[in-house]
Structure 1
Amino acid sequence: MTSEQPQSEHVSIPTDGSAIPGDLAVPPGAPSLVLFAHGSGSSRHSPRNRAVAAALQGAGLGTLLMDLLTGAEERVDVVTARHRFDIPLLGQRLVDVLDWLGGRPDTAALPVGLFGASTGAGAALVAAAERPDRVRTVVSRGGRPDLAGDALERVRAPVLLIVGGRDREVLRLNREAAVRLRAPHREHVVPGATHLFEEPGALDEVADAARDWFLGAGVPGSGGA
């Protein structure tokens, strides 16, 4: 199933007395919405996450690309890298966004999937553990699920771990984290791909795997979309 790309709405999401910006796109009749959590040192403008988001929108899914830090925090982080590995903070930001989505008439009823890249995957798993009734599933792209710590055992949503075959250290960390997951989970290794999936066709494979997972075709125990 494909559809036209929906128009994106710039949104401002309240958090900790400030606000974080995001880009929300919800196609008519979307069955669910995917919330993106970018990796360390990145933002909602990540070209890789935007490419995956476009593929998901083309399949009729809603997407929300957002910054995880406020403007003031981002300015500090650029110099000190203080916040980009603060997984409890980033996980709480995602929880704030999940609650915000639950308060909007156009998104309140939509099941939510989380797509976490690099350190954002750890934050996504923390948020999934905190909001088990809101998060339907989680996809990690070249992620660091190990950074979720004790939250791994509390995740109930099915998890897809996408890792590049040549990203050996991250592949090892994913497999160690997977042992701690009690939720249904699956590993998808992209042959020949490195951490940023820059090789020809690698990011397309990521997008295809994520699309199928979010639509339910690849989720363990699911009957499909």
Structure 2
Amino acid sequence: MLEKKECTEVSKSVGVNDMSEIRENPARPEGKIGERMLERMNVSHGPLRAFGLPLLPWKESLRILDVGCGGGATIAEMLKRSPGSIIDGIDYSEVSVRQSQETNREYIGTRCQVQKADVAGLPFKERTFDLVTAVETVYFWPDIRKGLKEIFRVLKSGGTFAVLNEGSDPDNNNWPKIDGFMKIYRPEELKELLEICGFIDVKIHKGADQMICVTGTRK
């Protein structure tokens, strides 16, 4: 997730032992500040999920992966949309993993598993998933091609990959700089990247403001 407010300086001191927690960092949530930010993200990403998720090919008993699962709200909604599905979530932030596990505690160990991992080296076998989602996360991938190739590897033939972003115009935003890598992609850039990495039938869907959902499949 990325919000303008979530990139601003934190105005209050967080204690002598928490000097690293002076700024909210949507690229890698940490500590109590990260927990509070993820709670807000679960709510504030609601319109993006409401726009993008209905565009995906839902049916029962899918195997799904949510990359950069953050606070876990996307997983929670997908569990409802696909009865009998099994969903894996990964995030490279330990705080995000814990928060996502808490959000989906009812299903952890049965229909849901969340673990710490990086999109550049997914801990799954080839052709495992029917659907892979990436909601407000590709901004923060230092090597997006490597991440896309890993997603392509773990996607089944005929499976769908979906990128959902709130920002899609790098020339028309006033988001402050963050601690770490960040790049806002135009939808045409994402389409080209997906095609380079082997995805076919790549489609661009545009929503309100700068919202986009870019989907592709594996042949």
Which structure would you say has the larger RCO, counting Cα contacts within 8 Å and 6 or more residues apart? 2
TM-score in same-fold range (> 0.5): no
Tell me the TM-score normalized by structure 2.
Answer: 0.38
Tell me the TM-score normalized by structure 1.
Answer: 0.38
